[in-house]
Structure 1
Amino acid sequence: MLDHAIFWHVYPLGATGAPIRDWSTGDEAHRLPRLINWLDHLIELGCNGLLLAPVFASSTHGYDTLDHFRIDPRLGDDADFDRLIAACRERGIEVLLDGVFNHVGIHHPMVADGGPVRRLPDGSPEPWEGHGDLALLDHDDPRTAELVVDVMNHWLDRGIAGWRLDVAYSVPTWFWAQIVDRVRQRHPDAVFLGEIIHGDYAALITEGHLDTVTQYELWKAIWSSVKDVNFHELAHALGRHREFMAAGPMQTFVGNHDVDRIASTVGDEGAALAAVLLLTLPGVPSIYYGDEQAFRGVKGTGFATDDPIRPALPETPVVLSLPAAAMFELHRELIALRRRHPWLTRGQVEVLDTTNETIRYTVTGYGHRLEATLTSAPVSVELVFDDGERFAAQW
């Protein structure tokens, strides 16, 4: 699956306009099917995968799970989920769900009922990274493994293709290996994507038996190099990327539900360069919903820190402005180009020449070759494939 996958990454609670906090008065609504209206947009863009942030019952933002077997009532119910999966299946879209198996919400029943959560000396649940509303799971307790295997199999049985594993870097790799091996006995083609911000990228794949992990080093180098007009940083990161790719195809991105919007960070021209890099470099790319229309959003402060980068979508796809239309068309052209050259996913990148303002690199694989030249002043790109295809643009 991953050799041809290009994901559209959506944060469902935000995208459907669900309330994130202070909804204790009851806000049960059938919002999840609203995403069905956007599936043809996903297809028109050229994507074939839908990567969903949490959809399970939670207290607030989705990462404080209350019940892994229940759709969040702010999004709907099992019937709404089945409708979405059926609509995706009709269009050939594979769905990955976000599994939060490092911690649960402090109000999860297992916390009070003596479930497999880590405890402090006074018996209180151990918080994750100081977040008192999140209780760490005890991965040495066999009940944790049983829970995770049951949850994964339950939703795989319901039609999903695999899992994004939240903060996978905080969970022992031996735990993931055990879980993945057990789940694959029943679902041999299931896909496992691990989130890792810092740590040993290759080991999480090889020792954890995962298929791919998030390439945060490359994400940082892309926006930072474009913003600071310093492609030397990117050149260094591409050397690291090549090493990581020896373990497996990295999951690449320039935006997600946890970071500032790329267009807010580097502007429209810089975002165009970032899109070229994302869709020509080796890896399994994902487009964060709205980035293809140059959405803006910068993380705030306090409890609402992530709200600006997790906005509601209109009921149906609309192009909001001329810059949005231009960005959409660029993404569509680049994704189509990648579809014609699927070997890029597992290719090898090599930097040929670098200055502060310019980088030239090749990607080779399966007897094919791409040579790319990107310039930040003025902003331009030239792509030349060995089959004669060329792409050039200037902004």
Structure 2
Amino acid sequence: MEKAVITGMGAITPIGNDLAAFEEHLFAGRHGIVPIDRFDTEDMAAKVYAPVKDLDTEAHLSARELRRLDKFTLYGLIAAKEAAAQSGILGAVDPYRLGVNMSTGLGGIGTVLHEYDALLDKGPRRVSPMLIPKWAPNMMAGVIAIETGARGPSIAHTAACASSSVSIGEALRAIRHGYVDAVICGGGEAATQKLVTAGFQSLRAMSTSADPDRASIPFDRERSGFVMGEGGGALVLESESHARARGARILAEVSGYGLTSDASHITAPAEDGEAIDRAITDALAEAGERDETVYVNAHGTGTVKNDQVEAAAIARVFGGKALVSSTKSMTGHLLGAAGAVEAIAAVLSLHREAVPPTAGTRLLDEDVQIDVVCGGSRPARLSRAVSLSLGFGGHNACLVFDRRDA
């Protein structure tokens, strides 16, 4: 059975508009959280967010192309182009053996809101013919396939905040079973609108802190919820035999994938955490268990219940052999794109031999019995990293990454 390796990565996030900037700010513990300036928050409890900043969109696409894309697709496309360029995969693979798995949580919600306003103000004839193509959650995968010439399977997976992790895991399976030689996989999200923020606020999932330095504080006893973020992340997964045949640089192996469902509640994690345990243990069994310290990039949203249940699951499975952090403390929560960006963070930790910090977190909750890295990056000799993603609806996805030194 084929092994799946990573040969390219790309990221556009609140802490960097390319992979290099993301890596620099990630390990420096520099967050991208600022006061909300896209809408009036006078009647809102949420006061901060984590936007993509200073993006020169015209450096990537023409004005005509930009008008045809919702921001979630734009972010995913830019990340995918960076990953493909680093990989060198384009032109080096049969187009029918190159797939695209790019996912989102909410799709083109910004376009929907804009066109609904047009409908109310000017009538149905003024609604853009691009409404449906810009709105559809699959369109990011379709646009990236068009841009790259990928003619293999092109699909979007919808699993809430676990969506892009599922896309990576399913790419692993497609490669292992010989359906494709390579897959561009990940996700994009652009849901920093007042309606979406209000919806999460009504669920009591949003941070109510107005202090950007103390708003996204996973595992902290003063945490009050997550901070909305936006962006995109993409990885090129490739069969090891194909990568070696063309002399590609191998960044890491995706060695394990576990996917389970709580079958419990539409928004809250199951109290016993059993399905999270199983997702992790399934992924580790697939990867081959090792008796060594690993880095766990936790889902770590900063909501009271998620952090409590997730920390308990990590403690049960890994005992004291896990260094844990939540990079949502810096990027905010990228919803459907979170898993891809956090997978990239996990791979970077293997190369840096360091664990990025949970920035802003100072006072660990007494219920959190795991080693949460706070205050700054921590050096660590790592050969394995794990990324966890948990989504509304009870979706639990776990990915295992192993360093490859040759």
> Normalised by the size of structure 2, how large is the TM-score?
0.32
| Larger radius of gyration between Structure 1 and Structure 2 | 1
Larger RCO, structures 1/2 (Cα 8 Å, 6+ apart): 2
